[in-house]
Structure 1
Amino acid sequence: MEKVLIIANEFPPMGGAGVQRTTKFVKYLPKFGYDPVVITKEHVADLTDKTLLEDLPKNLKVYRLKPYDTVNRKGIFRLPFKFLGTRILSPDSEYFWYYFNRDKIAEIIKKENINIIYTTSFPYSSHLMGLYIKRLFPNIRWITDFRDEWTNNPYHLDSWYRKIKLDLEKKKELEVTNECDFLITNTPFMLDNFIKDNPSLVGRSTYIPNGYDEEDFVGLNNARDGGDKFVITYTGSLYGRRNLTEFLDGLKIAIDNKKIDKSKLEIRVVGNIYQEVLDEYAKKYDLVNNMKSFGYLPHKESIQMLYNSDILLLVIGKGKGSKNFYTGKIFEYIRVDRPILSIVPEDGAAAQVINETNTGTVVDPEDIDGISVVLERYYKSWIEGKLVHEPNWDKIQVYSRESQAKRLSEIFKESKDI
């Protein structure tokens, strides 16, 4: 098998959504003729999910480099270093990890006889590492994978300190996209934006969506557990535009109009979310006895929470650029046999997935009345014992992680001819 160097700052035992895509690629690439060698950072105080280590090949070689962490430091310098990492460093808080480890990576490449590298972001510093290696070893084939957009990222547009750095980062982004051999994004909308900014990507770029791993569902119980409660579950993160405001505004209308009996309602939130944020929601919307927080759960336990529900809640947020991406959770949502209330831009990537798989109802975040109507309909169907869900399983299977790893392996082969 040919070796491929995977440069992924976020990797197990780190938990969270950012590690899933790379973990599954590493898991399945050997099936298609590639032997991954992983470069990541020593695990620090981030989320931990050791169960993800079970997905990795037993003989996988992983180089864990010194983290040079600025965000999770302890002691009297914690706040100054966190400010440096989140506000000052460009492109992100992992710049020092890239800068001080880049020569070590060059040594690893020689030692492992590497001819192809794959870099994935976030963080974007991983691509600076790829750029450094490509310039040092021009014959190496370099594949970049953007799990999120860089300078066109809508969350960056909302941040004053990110805006200040964007001009400098646009230059770096163009260097990366000009010099990589092949570029991958995870939605067609993101891909269009990259090509718009750099037309030379035509013919050497594509998108591979996120997905679900069928093995993650083995042994789980496909059964609700809410008893006489109508259970709505949200899993994932909440930050910036991605919040519960529109959902709760729509729910309030349905409750006030007596279309939903609040005493029969249970809202479950699973993820690394500040408890004070959820407490504030519960207090503001008079849902103190209805909202339950479960914190961050190991990956399979999080999926089991979806099975335990009556309907699932998906939120993206609104505003410029929001239509270009979807949360990675969407693919586990569509694989679980439950209707999805999708509060997402109607013309965006997430809506496209929900509609083509027939796995839920899409409502634009601006349409609060529409959110209320959909909630009323789902609740009424549940009360009557007629909550119907008829997904298109043929479309859903397109999003399997194994299929996506196969596509990545094909790109590795195709890059030889570019």
Structure 2
Amino acid sequence: MKKVLIITYYWPPAGGPGVQRWLKFAKYLRDFDVEPIIYTPENPSYPLTDESLEAEIPKSLKVLKHKILEPYTAARIFSKKDTQTISSGIIVKEEKQSFLQKLMLYIRGNFFIPDARKFWVKPSVKYLDKVLDEQQISSIITTGPPHSLHLIGLQLKQKKDITWIADFRDPWTNIGYHNKLRLSKSSQKKHAILEKEVLNTADHVLVTSFTTKKEFEAKTPKPVSVITNGFDTEIASENPSLDKKFTFSHIGSLLSGRNPLNLWKAFGELVRENKGFAEDFELRLVGAVSGEVLTFIKAEGLEKHLKLQQYVPHEEAIRIQRCSQVLLLIEINSEETRGIIPGKVFEYMAAKRPILALGPENWDVYKILENTAAGQFFEYSEKEKIKRHLVDLYSAYKNNRLQAESLKIDHYHRKHLTAKLANLLKEI
């Protein structure tokens, strides 16, 4: 059985979507004659935790751990809230940032390149140099963000005769918050140099979206493959106890940039114009929500229709998805985010509830929704189209025929995706 070392920062009890990609790959790789070995920090600082995910770790899976120096732990002395939000990628608009927030962003962007986990690189390379020999491992995979983990792969590749796959769950210099880190010109240059070195040294580059593949192919001659995220639940054969209210649910963080004003306006107009809609409508937001987003929602008179929940365990998130009338998928409206395919879209499809998606023009998610008939996509500017669609959804809800087709979504099951990864490992 072929061995592969997977170097990942996020591992249970880490919560959020970042942990699930490689937790699920590790769950199924042995079915395809590949033995995964996990390497992860011994004392990480996670912005979210979900202890329920620990039950999904295969019992016989070997997990290696090594200490990490975590600057975010020290930063909490000054501001626990700001430290947690910045490490989660929630960055308020510049004009609303406090002096402390600006200072923390400047330090994060210019003193921790490529990110705050850079101090784990050197001790990890020293530790893994011996592990690779002792365990007779000839293939490694690094997954980022944090992209400093790719520097571990880079240095190991430079020292040893190994095969290295660099997996990008999100882009590097094109990631949505990169330009908000108050980077100096020299820091921007350092990021670009490191990104180029990683892309040109890895044997294969793995990405989660079609746009990122196209962007990276313009930066490196090395092969780039797409393996999207997916779902690992049974596809809902019928709707289990749907909410009685006309619920629109968003599961996951709503950053300041994810603020579709025209959606809130469309909701607000329908609440004021349609008494029945106002009586039935509920907006449920599960996870961290930026204060700026809440301000705009409340400004549209939606506060009494708003239900806020903090981060919930993954199993509860799945239940909420399957009980909701409509599922909201919202991405930052920028060219840089066209290649971001949120992991939850696949679980949304498995829930077989209609998806209402808002994001940038030419968003990769549009292609997936179009091919699966799992929902409708709108650009941020399309208020009247959004409003008409909301009216159609409400009519279907009142007539008990609100559902989604979700065609051919089995291709996005985690086991099917793991088969693609295993084939790639064997080919390389």
Q: Same fold (TM over 0.5)?
A: yes
Q: Show the 5 A alignment for 1:114-263.
A: 114-137=137-160, 139-161=161-183, 165-198=187-220, 200-201=221-222, 204-214=223-233, 222-227=239-244, 229-258=245-274, 261-263=277-279
Is contact 2:372–2:409 with CA below 8 Å preserved after alignment?
Answer: yes
Deviation per residue, 1:36-77 (Å, 9 max, x gap): 111111243531112212222111111222121112336646
Residue of structure 2 aligned with 1:329, choices 337, 344, 353: 344
How far apart are 1:347 and its partner, in Å?
Answer: 2.1
The answer to whether the Cα contact below 8 Å between 2:335 and 2:360 also exists between their aligned partners in 1 is no
Aligned counterpart, 1:68:
69
Spell out the pairing of 1:261-272 with structure 2 (5 A cutoff). 261-272=277-288
In structure 2, the partner of 1:49 is 50
Deviation of 1:243 after TM superposition, in Å, equals 2.8
Q: Distance in 2 between matches of 1:148 and 1:8?
A: 14
Q: How far did residue 258 of structure 1 move?
A: 3.0
Q: 1:281–1:164: structure 2 CA closer, same or farther, 3 Å change rule? A: farther
User: C-alpha separation between the residues in 2 aligned to 1:311 and 1:207?
Assistant: 28
Q: Aligned partners of 2:382, 2:184: CA distance in 1, in Å?
A: 29
Is structure 2 residue 111 aligned with structure 1 residue 88?
Answer: yes
Of 389, 410, 414, which aligns to 2:423? 410
SS at 2:321 equivalent: helix
The verdict on how the C-alpha distance between 1:53 and 1:75 changes in structure 2, with shifts beyond 3 A counting, is closer
Q: Following the alignment from structure 1 to structure 2, what is the Cα–Cα distance between the partners of residues 178 and 388?
A: 46
| Paired amino acid for 2:21 | R
Q: Name the CA distance, whole Å, in 1 between partners of 2:129 and 2:189.
A: 29
Deviation string, structure 1 residues 273-315 (Cα, Å, up to 9, x no partner): 35x4565344322222111111111111101001111111111
1:314 equivalent in alignment to 2:314: no
SS of the residue 2:289 aligns to: coil
CA pair 311-162 structure 1, distance change in 2 beyond 3 A: farther
Q: Is the 8 A contact 1:346 1:362 kept in 2?
A: no
Match of 2:120 among 90, 97, 103: 97
Equivalent pair of 1:260/1:379 in contact (CA under 8 Å): no
> 1:233 Cα deviation (Å)?
0.5
For 1:231-288, what per-residue CA distance to the aligned partner results, in whole angstroms no more than 9, with x for missing partners?
A: 11001111142234342122223334438622221111112335x4565344322222
User: Does residue 368 of structure 1 match 2:391?
Assistant: no
Contact 1:102-1:132 within 8 A present in 2 as well: yes
1:70–1:223: structure 2 CA closer, same or farther, 3 Å change rule? same
Match of 2:136 in 1: 113
SS of the counterpart of 2:183?
helix
Q: Is the 8 A contact 2:272 2:278 kept in 1?
A: no
Tell me, what secondary structure is at the counterpart of 1:214? coil
Q: Which amino acid aligns with 2:182?
A: W
Which amino acid is the alignment partner of residue 144 of structure 1? A
Contact 1:72/1:82, CA 8 A, preserved across alignment:
no
Cα pair distance change 1:144/1:305, threshold 3 Å: same
Q: Residues of 2 paired with 1:13 and 1:338: CA distance? A: 28
Amino acid at match of 1:236: G
By how many angstroms is 1:29 displaced? Answer: 0.6
Provide the rounded CA distance (Å) in 2 between the counterparts of 1:384 and 1:7.
50
Q: Secondary structure at the match of 2:365?
A: helix
Q: Is the Cα contact below 8 Å between 2:268 and 2:302 reproduced in 1? A: no
User: Structure 2 vs 1, CA of residues 258 and 222 (structure 1 numbering), >3 Å: closer, same or farther?
Assistant: closer
Quote the Cα distance in structure 1 between the aligned partners of 2:67 and 2:51.
20
Give the length in aligned residue pairs: 405
String of CA shifts for 1:192-220, please: whole Å, max 9, x gaps: 0001122x12xx221101110135x79x9
Consecutive unaligned residues of structure 2, counting only runs of 5 or more, are 84-99
Conserved 8 A contact 2:45-2:72: no
Measured in 2, the distance between the counterparts of 1:333 and 1:4 equals: 31
- Label 1:300 to 1:413 Cα distance change in 2 as closer, same or farther (>3 A): same
Stretches of structure 1 lacking an aligned partner (at least 5 in a row): none
Contact 2:252 2:286 in 1 (8 A): yes
Q: What percent identity do the matched residue pairs reach? A: 31
Please give the secondary structure, in 2, of the residue aligned with 1:172: helix
Output the TM-score relative to the length of structure 1: 0.90
Separation in 1 of the partners of 2:77 and 2:71? 13
User: Does the 8 Å CA contact 1:6/1:38 hold for their aligned counterparts?
Assistant: yes
Quick check: 147-156 or 18-27, which moved more?
147-156
**Which is further off, 67-76 or 308-317?**
67-76
User: Deviations for 1:328-381, whole angstroms, at most 9, x for unmatched residues?
Assistant: 111001111111111123522111111110011111112122211211211122
Aligned-residue RMSD, C-alpha: 2.4
Amino acid at match of 1:110: D
User: Structure 2 vs 1, CA of residues 93 and 245 (structure 1 numbering), >3 Å: closer, same or farther?
Assistant: farther
Distance 1:272 1:75 in 2: 18
